C-alpha cells in the first residue's frame, strides 16, 4: 500500500505563507486515475477540518472558508502534492494531514503561527 510522507515549515509568523508537501511512495502500481488527494487539519483542542482536494487531472475543490487563501497542486512527475495557504494567522495553527483517497494518510505536520 502507498505511504505518504509530508514535510514543511513548522513555525510561521502572521501574514506568511504556509507551504507543505506530501510525497507518495510505494503502492502496487494501481491506476493513478483512481486517486485523489486531500488536506485536512486539526487545530489544538478541536476536530478535523477538511481543507481541500485535488484529483489526478489536477481538478481541485476547496473549503469555502479558505478558498481565497488556499492552493493545492499536483506534480505527477514527482508524485507530490503541495498545499500553500497564504496570509496565515494564529487560527491556522494546527496539525495538517495529507491523505490519498479515504484510507491512506500522512503522519501529520504541526504548524504553529506565532509572532
Partner 1 sequence: EIVLTQSPATLSLSPGERATLSCGASQSVSSNYLAWYQHKPGLAPRLLIYDAASRATGVPDRFSASASGTDFTLTISRLEAEDFAVYYCQQYATAPLSFGGGTKVEIK
Tell me whether residue 12 or residue 99 sits nearer to partner 1 (CB atom): 99
Exposed/middle/buried for residue 61 (C-beta within 10 Å: 0-12, 13-18, 19+): middle
Query: At closest approach, how far in Å is the CB of 62 from partner 1?
Result: 7
Q: Are 106 and 30 in contact (CB under 8 A)?
A: no
State yes or no: residue 61 binds partner 1 (CB under 8 A). yes
In the complex, the smallest distance separating the C-beta of residue 115 from partner 1, rounded to whole angstroms, is 27
From candidates 25, 44, 47, 68, binder to partner 1 by CB under 8 A: 47
From 12-20, 27-35, 61-69, 73-81, give the range in contact with partner 1 by CB under 8 A. Answer: 61-69
Other beta carbons within 10 angstroms of residue 87's beta carbon come to 12
Q: How far is CA 114 from CA 73, 100, 109, in A?
A: 26, 30, 16
Does 108 help bind partner 1 (rule: CB under 8 A)?
yes
Amino acid at each position: 500500500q502507498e505511504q505518504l510522507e509530508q514535510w514543511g515549515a513548522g513555525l510561521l509568523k502572521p501574514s506568511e505563507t504556509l507551504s507543505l508537501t506530501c510525497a507518495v511512495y510505494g503502492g502496487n502500481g494501481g491506476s493513478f486515475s483512481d486517486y485523489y488527494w486531500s488536506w485536512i487539519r486539526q487545530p489544538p483542542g478541536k476536530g478535523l477540518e477538511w481543507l481541500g482536494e485535488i484529483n489526478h487531472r489536477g481538478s481541485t475543490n476547496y473549503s469555502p472558508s479558505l478558498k481565497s487563501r488556499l492552493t493545492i497542486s499536483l506534480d505527477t512527475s514527482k508524485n507530490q502534492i503541495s498545499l500553500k495557504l497564504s496570509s496565515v494567522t494564529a487560527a491556522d495553527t494546527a496539525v495538517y494531514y495529507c491523505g490519498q483517497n479515504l484510507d491512506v494518510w500522512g503522519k501529520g505536520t504541526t504548524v504553529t503561527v506565532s509572532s
